[in-house]
Structure 1
Amino acid sequence: MRYSEPAPAKVNLALHVRGRRADGRHNLETLFAFCVDGDRLSAEASDEISLDLGGPFATALRGEQDNLVLRAARDLQRAAGVEQGAALHLQKNLPVASGLGGGSADAAAALRLLTRLWKIDPDHAAAVAPDLGADVPACLLSMTARGEGVGDQLRPVDAADISGTPILLVNPLEPLSTAKVFARWDGEDRGPLGEDWRSGRNDLEPAALAEVPAIGVILDWMRDQPGVTLARMSGSGASCFALFDTETALERGASACPDKWWHMASFLR
């Protein structure tokens, strides 16, 4: 039997950086949300763990020595004491190093998928997730949640005003290193993220813009589109998102997006 699991694109609706930690990481306050669309992972039983790749961005991952999907599978196998393997296939639809949590979402999808395939306790997946990356616990839930700490301290929030919102994701097709963006952050704490995420911000935008100026061009273009209610960068970039007031406005915005940029029209879950 072949199992399949979505790996929804992650969006940081707001991202406040509150300070550097002694371990070199950063204390954050963010609101995670997830799109209906993204990558997709499938698997079937096998003697060994293997991964094959397809989709428009598969080439960027080929030859990767430390793919997060394989790490997730091997870590879960060890944690649960499973001898069975899995033949995994990743349909890579999202750009790599794009601020959409693609690698984290793929790893989280692997944990959910293999929990079903191997018929093991989901607690094993929850225990493994934090060691795979700060965003993996949020992606494991794949539901609207407030993240604190390094983003791994999660509190689900009411998504009634978020779910179903039309969203356009746009990326300039320039990979952006998260480490470089955080290294450029100016270190200033500009205050907490309140309950009204729309009045928040992304504190990493200036640092990301210095690395990839096209981010500013995308944001300006988004804010000029009819029906846009909010436009921001997601995560550490370089992807940006625009929220629209209607599906029709979303369709028009997606149609108007310049061909030189990658884009995906979707809805928030």
Structure 2
Amino acid sequence: MRIDLSGRTALVTGSTQGIGLAIATGLAAAGARVGVNGRGAASVNTAIAAIRAQVPGAEPLPAVGDLSTQDGTNAVVDSLPHVDILVNNLGIFGEKPALDVTDEEWRRYFEVNVLSGVRLTRHYLPRQMDNGWGRVQYIASDSAIATPAEMIHYGVSKTALLGVSRGFAKTAAGTGVTVNSVIAGPTETGGVRDFVYQLVDRDLPWDAAQREFMRAHRPNSLLQRLIQPAEIANMVVYLASPFASATTGGALRVDGGYTDAILP
């Protein structure tokens, strides 16, 4: 299956590292012009250079702005007024006992993890609907379905994305635009490495720490290892393609079989 996104413009939020960078690279490899988003020009330019090194001939575009704020959202929209493919990947996470999560922290998680994508969807979706083609995706998490005791504020924000994407899919019904969520399982990124070492012995070498984390904290995983960011990107690129034209309103799992359910 050769996916060709030539002539399409994409925006991947939070794409200077980790899953977001892998998604931006995957879309660029399929021929899309990809907007790379981060809060600062330095990190965005570094990511653009990395994409160009991986994908000769790619044309990544800077989309600098803090999407947890309206001003930052305006800056991104000004730099990319229209996109055919919107991937709402931006997200924060962290371990904290449920009773210690303050109202301010709850609001911050919803601003970053939920409302950043809602704001962008409100801007880009109507134009996609008018054009009769578009793709909107939200990067959710296995934590949306199996709320982790150590970070319920994160899990609940990801649960919200499943409802948001289903609702916007109904808004776009019959227009040629699809809206979906991708449920990502435990994935090896720099942030996850730090998170793993918050929960297991810091003196363990990485391979042993990863195994101990999966054994003790994610025992349901059928993959029994952390997922690689490119494996998440593969699903996102497929959903962005014409091959996924009949897939909308869904929550598609790339979780290594972690969620013990037939459906989300």
Per the normalisation by structure 2, the TM-score is 0.28
The higher relative CO (CA closer than 8 Å, separation ≥ 6) is in 1
Per the normalisation by structure 1, the TM-score is 0.27
**Whose helix proportion is higher, 1 or 2?**
2
**Whose strand proportion is higher, 1 or 2?**
1
